[in-house]
Copies of this chain bind each other. A is one copy, B any other.
Amino acid sequence: MSDYRRITIAQAGSHTGESVEIAGWLYNLRKSGKIIFPLIRDGSGIMQCVGLKSSLSEECFEALKNLTQESSVIIRGKCRAEQRAPGGFEMDIESAEIVQRVPEETPYPITPKDHGIEFLFDHRHLHLRSRRQHAILKIRHEIIKAIRDYFDSNGFTLVDCPIFTPAACEGTTTLFEVDYFEDEKVYLTQSGQLYNEATAMAFGKTYCFGPTFRAEKSKTRRHLTEFWMVEPEMAFATLDDVKQHAEELICFIVGRVLDNRKTELGALERDISKLEAIKTPFPRISYDEAVEILRRKGSEIVWGGDFGGTDETLLSEEFDRPVMVDKYPTQVKAFYFQPDEQRPEVALGVDVIASEGYGEVIGGGQRIHDYNLLLQRIQEHNLPPEAFQWYLDLRRFGSVPHAGFGMGVERTVAWLCGLEHIRETIAFPRMLYRTRP
């Protein structure tokens, strides 16, 4: 046994001709008389193994021939390059050790046949082993790593914001309430932005990256109750800085996914050309222009209203890459948006609408830095000024123009993977009727 060095399937290319072992699970098995082809997955990849009756002990050959799906196994032999094989390599089996055999009478519940969505998500702990889900979550990892690398290498400091917050950032209808201690109530964060504004004044450029929560009662293909968001914030910055970083960030992420996750995009049958088209500069239009385009395309939107999912899809049809829409009416944006100096009825905010109908992936803008204007907006929005004293402090003590944005991880994953429904973008999705497993 000690003659065989343990490798992962992803490492097979560096070990051709060597005696090695792989440890994994039986993904599939083809048999043809005196030869068997167990397809093994180990999490790093999938490898076809070849077992000849003539070169294996009878016990080993029979055990592998009758192995059940998802049984765990260690296989020993020599790797060789094989262009026709799934990962480019095959292993000629010399011996094998069954770690745990799934019994015939209680077989692995997810078979190649079609299962209903509810069944698959009830078995999400196993569903993640399937090739499609595996590919999506590998791309998710790549996206998250790209986001962090982008900010870390551009002078941003990671300063995570609290999950437990005393008050709402933007209204209270979709807040989750938590029983804290002795009848105190706290809420789960919906955005780290207000806190980011404080940390940007301490570190210049910061970002937070964590889970956020929204008690959305609507059951749509775009909403989760628990989702991850990255939110950068910059001191001495304006709307233009937001646009520049939003554009560069998206292109950086897409580049990383194209460079490192071709295999996974292939497993998802993703149309790569759509991703390759995502290049700077992104088209930049104003809200006014967006409304004109939408009305021309048959939307009933009138100036002053916010875009719905259908409007976003209609807009995205006009462009082969994401489009940046800026200067929304103040009334559809949160209280802290800086108004345009020339046209105070519009806010210095921007949304980045993904291509191919994947909706808004980034929203942000410039924040009010004037104390009196911010206080006035807090009052106009009927927010309790006491709760915002600390936030007002940021305008009392060295206020500067500042700006930032938020990007939803799951929407980005859905977009880059080309998924219909957001539930596949996260390992254990939480939705209106889904809190298990």
Contact = CB atoms under 8 A, between A and B. Distances in A.
Interface in A175-211: 176-181, 184, 186, 188, 195, 198-205, 210-211
A421 interface: no
Nearest to A426: B160
Given A134-B202, A145-B152, A125 B8 contact: no
Contacts of A72: 398-400
A383 to B, nearest CB: 15
Contact of A195 (B25, B102, B427): B427
Copies of chain A in the complex? 2
Contact of A211 (B163, B198, B202, B236): B163
Contacts of A333: none
Given A178-B178, A204-B43, A204-B44, A396 B137 contact: no
B43 A128 contact: no
Interface string A391-404: 10111111110000
Given A155-B44, A179-B177, A162 B428 contact: yes
B102 A396 contact: yes
Interface residues of A, number: 92
Contacts of A203: 43-44, 128, 134, 137
A161 interface: yes
27 contacts: A25-B201, A26-B398, A43-B204, A43-B205, A44-B155, A70-B397, A72-B399, A100-B398, A102-B397, A108-B398, A123-B393, A125-B393, A125-B394, A128-B198, A137-B157, A137-B159, A144-B158, A145-B152, A159-B427, A162-B428, A163-B226, A176-B178, A178-B188, A180-B225, A181-B217, A181-B432, A211-B211
3 nearest A-B residue pairs (beta carbon) = A43-B204, A125-B198, A390-B437
Given A125-B195, A195-B428, 19 more contacts: A8-B204, A43-B200, A43-B203, A70-B398, A72-B400, A125-B394, A126-B393, A128-B159, A128-B199, A128-B203, A144-B158, A160-B426, A163-B226, A166-B435, A178-B188, A180-B225, A210-B211, A211-B211, A390-B437
Interface of A: 6, 8, 10, 23-26, 42-44, 70-72, 74, 99-100, 102, 106, 108, 123, 125-126, 128-129, 133-134, 137-138, 140-141, 144-145, 148, 152, 155, 157-166, 176-181, 184, 186, 188, 195, 198-205, 210-211, 213, 215, 217, 225-226, 228, 235-236, 369, 390-391, 393-400, 426-428, 430, 432, 435-437
